[in-house]
Every structure is written in structure tokens, then in C-alpha cells.
A and B are shown apart, each in its own frame.
Chain A
Amino acid sequence: MRTRKWLESAALLLLGIYLLETRLSGEISYYIAAQFFWLPIMAGIILIAIGVAQVSYLLGSAGQSSTNPDLLLARSPHTQGVTWLSLILVCVPLVLGVVLPAKPLGASAVGTSGIATSLNSLNPTGSTGTFSLAPENRNVLDWVRAFSAAATPDEFTGQPADLIGFVYRDIRFNDQNQFMVARFAVSCCTADALAIGVIVEMPDSAKYKQDGWVRVRGKFQVREFDSHQTPVLIAESIEETAMPERPYLYP
């Protein structure tokens, strides 16, 4: 009983420290969208406050006489109290977060849910901002949005692009010279992560490995892909690059 009380405090404090550390190390960008980066800070502080309150209570009740009887009886009337099961379950995220190396979603996470080259539902509020951006400054998400809004794929012919993303290929890529420069779009957290990509064409591009990060520069041409006419980025240069600090794009 007493051991469990101490373990509860330890779990709260460690979980709080983990959340703060995830934010400070920047790994938080593998998990949630940038506009919510303050959440783990708030959560970490609350967890540590609850943990400290519990520790001070345990220390106080060890010394007994000084303890306020009101605090001794303090127990939420809403609950049955903490059980071993809830303690173990609450530790699961801590174990996953600490034991497994942190890694953002990549090509292998696209899985069977597929990857989008155009998608209207990506932006429910409707962004006109995309079109005021110079073509060279648009990211994968901006282009995918622009393709969705376009009347014909020809609109983009000749427009220059400069894109960073991970290399993605699936069974539709039978042409050795094509791959997709892809990103995950995340509005809230990984729960709504959506793979999006722009098709790239360059001779001899098979050497760029699945999931590796690349920077692609080139101009768009219309090509047939998977029996659709689609804008394809004809690459002038491809260079391998490090994963950006924030691997996801935020709609």
C-alpha cells in the first residue's frame, strides 16, 4: 500500500519530467502540431505539482503528528482510489517514450491508408494564402492544396518548385525514374497525420532510398501517373538532406 503510494508519486514526477523533456529536446514535433507545443509544458507542470503534493503528504504522514487530519482524509469522492492496474497502465506511455527511440512517422507509416496528391478536405477553413506564396516558397502541403484547387493540371506547367520531404514509393511506382517527395500533414497530433506527396521525376533517381530526406528543385510538367494526368516535378537537382527540425507540416 505504502510502496504503491510512493510508486504513484514516482510515476507522476517521471511522466511530468518526460513531457517537459520532450518539449525541450524538440522531439515534441514528432507527436503534435506546433500550435499545441505549450500543452506538454502545462501538463508537465501539473503532473509535477500533483506528484510533489503526494510526496509531501507521504513525508508528512510518516512524521504523523504534524499532519492535518483534513488532508489525511483527502480522497476524491469521485473515485475508488488508485489501483495497481491504473498505476501500471499510466506507466505505459512513459515506458514507450523512454525505451523506444523517438522517431517521426515516415514512409513506412503511410501503410495502407495511402498517400494523397490532392485533397480538398485538407483545409476546411480555406486558405488563399497558398496562392500569394511565390512558387519557390511553397512546401509540399501548399502544392497539394494548389493541385486540389486547380481546374486542370496544366496550370502548373513550367512553375518552379523547391521541396523538402522524405522519399516515398509504393507499387504504383513502376517507373524507376519516379518517386514521391512526401510529408505528413498534422493539424492536431499524430491521430490525424495524413501522408501527402508530390511526384518527382529524374533519371537514375532509384538510388534515393525509401524514407530518406531529400531536397528537390525543378519545374512542373504534366505526366500520366496511375492513369491520371497529374503535375509531376521534373527535377533539376536532388540532394540528400537532414530531416527538418519539424518533420510534419501544419495545415
Chain B
Amino acid sequence: MDVLGQIQIFSTRFLGIFIEAVSFLLLGTLVSGLIEVFVRKEDVIRFLPRRAGRAVFAGSFLGFLFPVCECGVVPVTRRLYQKGLPVAVGITFLLAAPVMNPIVFASTFSAFGFGVVLVGRYLITLVMAISVGLLFTLQRSPAKLLSPGSISTLARSAVGGGGAGIETPQRPHLLPGLIKSLRYAHDEFFDMGKYLVIGTALAASMQTFVPQEELRKVATDPVLSVLAMALLAFVLSVCSTTDAIIALSFANPINGFTTGSILVFLTFGPMVDIKSTLMYLGVFRRKTVVYMVILPLLISILIGIWLNLNVRF
């Protein structure tokens, strides 16, 4: 086998995925930097409905107001908790926001066009985030759900008068604000960039070095493919702005992975992966995090397998 030729092919596939994906990643980090600097997130809480059920539903769409991917969503949620957001609404926001996001919509559209993958990704994400959020409305006491660390900041803000105690940053001037946004984007780009490079390298290797007949056995199995893509999503931790382009390399129409498994990758992955689980542990109690990982996993796997067995795409 011609080794140099194979490396050349790997490189072309790698750069294709990377160039397409990194553009959406950069747009995402830039927007999230601008939001970090210019938008006062606490203003939004006032618009949420009072009733828990409706607030959970509204919370699942909050992401369109703050286009943050999974790396940015945890600090934003923590800040919203300090401003009095109900825990269940925050969990729904946390799970839905990485997908409920115009940049993720654009990258998913660019990879799959308008069709079952795009629509399915949004519907399944809503079902998952809202049902998990509604389950958490049953537990009204934040102390049972949040980690002691986040509870203490809540307590402090309560002493300061219902959230007004936390200093609210002044809206910055345009130019210094822009520079600050760019510096935020810088950190986030390097942080997420490493996952993108690893994910891209894996996707390009699978297409170049792995015999496709071997892969086909797993890829076309309605159950195994779903489990494999759930595991891959968890381990790869790629940013939700770019995961559609990575997923595309597994969805080749001749011998690609089942549509159900691609949807699991695109719905479970943004909610739960190694990186986000670690960040969840900083805000929630361990038991809460176990539910936040297991429930989305089970729901997405069940939907994925059901789709594979019952729907012809």
C-alpha cells in the first residue's frame, strides 16, 4: 500500500472537514464572546413564564437568545441561577441550548440540507430537554440538586436582596468591549479547537484507513450503530457548532451509519460528553449529574433504535 498516497488522502479529507467545521466554530466563539461582554443575561429571566411547566418549555428555546455551544452554556446557567432561575428551567436550558442555536442550525443545514436529520435533531432535542426538565420540576428544593459550591453563591446573592447583590457588569464601550470579546473568543477557540482537531482526525481516519466492509457491520446494525455513535459522541466532545460536519463523514449513503445513530450523535452529543459532564459537576450535585447523563442517554438511544427499526428514511 502506498503510504504517502494514503496520508495525502487523509490530509485532503481532514482539511475539508476542518475548513468547513472551523468556520462555524469561529463564528460560534465570536458570537459567544460578544454575548459574554455585551448582553446582560439576567434581563432575560424576567420574560420567562411563572408556571414551572411553561417556564421549562420556554427555557428550551432560550438558546436562540444566547447562541452558546456546550462549552459556554454552563457558566451562563450558573449566572442565571444566581439571578433566581428555577433549577429545572436551567437544566432544560443547559441541555437544549447547544442545539437551539442559529449557528448550529446553519452548520447542520450546510451538512445535511433540509431533511430528516435537521428536523429530527431539533425535535428530539426538544423532547429530551423538556422531559428531563419536567422531571426535575418535581424536586423544588435547589439544595437537593445544586452542588454546595453553587448553593453558597445563591445564598450570598439572596442576602444581597434577591439577586441584586451580585454585581452586574456595566455595559462596556464598543471598542474595548470588542477587544475583550475577541480575547474570550481566543480562549474558547483553542479550548474547543483541540476537540475539533481530534474529532476531525478520527473521522478522516475512519474514511481513509479503516476497511469499509468491517465498518459496515456496525454502521448498518440498527442497535449497534446507535450505541457506537452515542459512545463516540461522549468521547469526542466536539463542539455542537461543528458536530454535524463530523457526523456527515459517518453518514455516507453507500455504507454509512444508520440515520437513527446519526441523530443520537447530534442530540445526545451536545448534551452530554466528557467535557460537559465535568463542567456539570461544578454546578450540580453528583446525583443530579447522574440523572442529567443517564436520562438523555436512554431517551436518545430509545428514539434512535425505534427510528431505525420502524421508519424508512
Residues of A at under 8 Å CB distance from B? Answer: 8, 12, 19, 22, 28, 30-32, 36, 39-40, 42-43, 46-47, 49-50, 53-54, 56-57, 68, 70-71, 74-83, 85-87, 89-90, 92-93, 96-97, 100-105, 108-109, 111-114, 116, 119, 121-122, 124-125, 186-194
Chain A residue, CB-CB nearest to B6: A108
Chain A residue, CB-CB nearest to B76: A78
Residues of B at under 8 Å CB distance from A? Answer: 2, 5, 7-9, 11-20, 22-24, 26-27, 30, 32-33, 36, 71-72, 74-75, 110-111, 113, 115, 172, 176, 179-180, 182-191, 193-194, 197-198, 200-201, 203, 207-208, 211-213, 245-246, 248-249, 251-255
Known: A89-B197, A108-B2. A74 touches B12 (CB 8 A): no
20 A-B pairs whose Cβ atoms sit less than 8 Å apart in the complex: A31-B20, A36-B23, A46-B27, A50-B182, A53-B183, A71-B176, A74-B179, A82-B187, A82-B190, A89-B193, A90-B193, A90-B194, A93-B22, A93-B197, A105-B13, A188-B248, A190-B15, A191-B16, A191-B20, A191-B203
Chain A nearest CB from B232 CB (Å) reads 15
From A8, A92, A103, A111, B201 is in contact (CB under 8 Å) with A92
Chain B residue, CB-CB nearest to A57: B183
Given contacts A31-B19, A191-B17, 7 further A-B contacts (CB under 8 A): A30-B16, A76-B184, A79-B71, A79-B187, A111-B9, A112-B211, A190-B17
Whether A108 contacts B184 by the Cβ 8 Å rule is no
Whether A189 contacts B20 by the Cβ 8 Å rule is yes
Chain B nearest CB from A53 CB (Å) reads 4
Complex alpha-carbon distance, A82 and B193, angstroms? 10
> Within 8 Å CB of A191, what residues of B?
13, 16-17, 20, 111, 203, 207, 245-246, 248-249
Whether B179 contacts A43 by the Cβ 8 Å rule is no
Chain B residue, CB-CB nearest to A15: B22
Complex alpha-carbon distance, A50 and B190, angstroms? 11
Whether B26 contacts A43 by the Cβ 8 Å rule is yes
> Within 8 Å CB of B115, what residues of A?
124
Main secondary structure of the interface of B (DSSP, over half): helix
**A to B contact number (C-beta, < 8 Å):** 211
Centre residue among B27, B193, B198, B245 by max chain A CB count within 10 A? B193
> Within 8 Å CB of B201, what residues of A?
92
Chain A residue, CB-CB nearest to B193: A90
> Within 8 Å CB of B22, what residues of A?
19, 43, 93
Known: A32-B19, A78-B188, A86-B190. A46 touches B197 (CB 8 A): no
Centre residue among B20, B208, B212 by max chain A CB count within 10 A? B20
From B20, B26, B30, B176, A36 is in contact (CB under 8 Å) with B20
Complex alpha-carbon distance, A90 and B74, angstroms? 24
Known: A78-B71, A89-B194, A124-B113. A71 touches B12 (CB 8 A): no
Whether A80 contacts B191 by the Cβ 8 Å rule is yes
Complex alpha-carbon distance, A124 and B117, angstroms? 12
Whether A111 contacts B208 by the Cβ 8 Å rule is yes
